[in-house]
Amino acid sequence: MNKANRKFSMWKGKTPTKAVIYVGLIIILFVLPLVTRSPYYLHILILTFIYIIATSSLRTIAISGQLSLGHAGFMSIGAYVSAVLAKELGWTPWLTIPLGGLATAAVAVLIGYPFSRLRLIYFSMVSLFFGVAILAVNATLSDYTGGAVGLIAIPPLFASSKLPYYYFCFVLLLLSLLALRRFEVCRIGMTVKTVAQSHWVASSVGIDESNYRVLALAVGCFFVGIAGAVYAHYNLVLSPNGFNLLASINLVIYMFVGGMGSFFGPLIGTATLIIIPELFRGIKEFVPYIYSGIMLIVIFLMPQGIASLLGQVKFWVANVRERKTVRHAS
């Protein structure tokens, strides 16, 4: 049996359920603005798309065994670089947005190599201090960044309604997820995961763990820089409070609630914790309790994140069936 026949026999009889779900979800999101043109709902979805990119980029760093607690600080680099270049030099955002991503990746490489040997909590603490340092640099360069007051009058990406922003961010999200997925499943990504599993084993077979950790950091920071730059030209106002420690912690929460073990975990976690509280904004005094309730449910019932829900349901159903079988047999 040749290779083509083996592949056919392997997939014969199987329903491409996941592919159907993905395509269906993409179609729904594509036609959604045609069903509801509410600027408020489009605004929430645009922010959700941007933060999904940011959270997914955080997971790209996490699969190397490093957890960044200052990821919002990296996001601010892309945002401010793009905004300042567009405002002060008059460059088009179509050029400054990728420059913001490249600048963020360059900073990640510069700080990554000196601390590439740090692991786990030590790297997390360094990334936390770096996030605080970015805020200090922002205050020092207040002539350009606006300091604590913030940066205003940022050139927009589109001069019309929110609809072009929606489709732009949606397409950017799809391309970012495809690129991050490709990075994760390629040989380099598999090597990065190997380093995370055991740096001793990786070193014993000649893998330079420092280079791969820095590479994962650079790739993750490039995409969060892009997300920050797009956010700047969408929001048109930047404030240091949008990239503080709480913002970084929120990205970590999005990742863990969705499930760090799944590539789509950040997508599910971010969408859940941004959209659901917004649906209850009419009773905003209860939103923190709703937010906390979601996290408690995930922690106790889905320790692997919401992405593991389908597997959990299958496991529970299998257990119920097994118990019924045992009862009937007895």
92-149 pLDDT tens trace: 999 999 999 999 999 999 988 887 777 778 888 888 888 888 888 888 888 888 888 8
Residue type, 302: M
Contact 88, 144 (CB under 8 A): yes
Mean pLDDT of the chain: 84
Domain presence at residue 141: yes
SS3 state of residue 238? strand
Q: What pTM was estimated for this model as a whole?
A: 0.86
The answer as to whether 175 is a domain residue is: yes
Total structural domains in the chain? 1
* Residue 3 included in any domain: no
In a domain, 12, yes or no: no
For residue 211, the one-letter residue type is: N
pLDDT in tens, 205-225: 777 788 888 999 999 999 999
pLDDT of residue 228: 96
Say yes or no to pLDDT of 84 above 80: yes
- Helical ranges in 151-305 per DSSP H: 162-185, 187-197, 199-204, 209-235, 245-258, 265-279, 287-301
- Mean per-residue pLDDT, 299-328: 71
pLDDT at 259: 86
pLDDT at residue 35, as a whole number: 84
pLDDT in the model for residue 11: 40
Look at residue 199 and tell me if it is in a domain.
yes
Query: Which of the two residues, 240 and 203, has the higher pLDDT score?
Result: 240
What separation in angstroms does the CA of 257 have from each of 7, 247, 264, 277, 307? 36, 15, 11, 14, 9
Residue 162 is assigned to a structural domain of this protein: yes
Contact indicator for 50, 107 with CB cutoff of 8 Å: no
Q: What is the pLDDT of residue 289?
A: 73
2: pLDDT confidence band, cut at 50, 70 and 90? Answer: low
Rounded average pLDDT over 193-201? 77
pLDDT at 36 exceeding the cut of 90: no
Query: Is position 232 within any domain?
Result: yes
Tell me the average pLDDT across 189-216: 81
Containing structural domain, residue 61: 38-329
Read off the pLDDT of each residue in 33-44 and give the average, rounded to a whole number. Answer: 86
User: Is residue 14 domain-resident?
Assistant: no
- The amino acid sitting at 178 is L
Is the per-residue pLDDT at 160 higher than 70?
A: yes
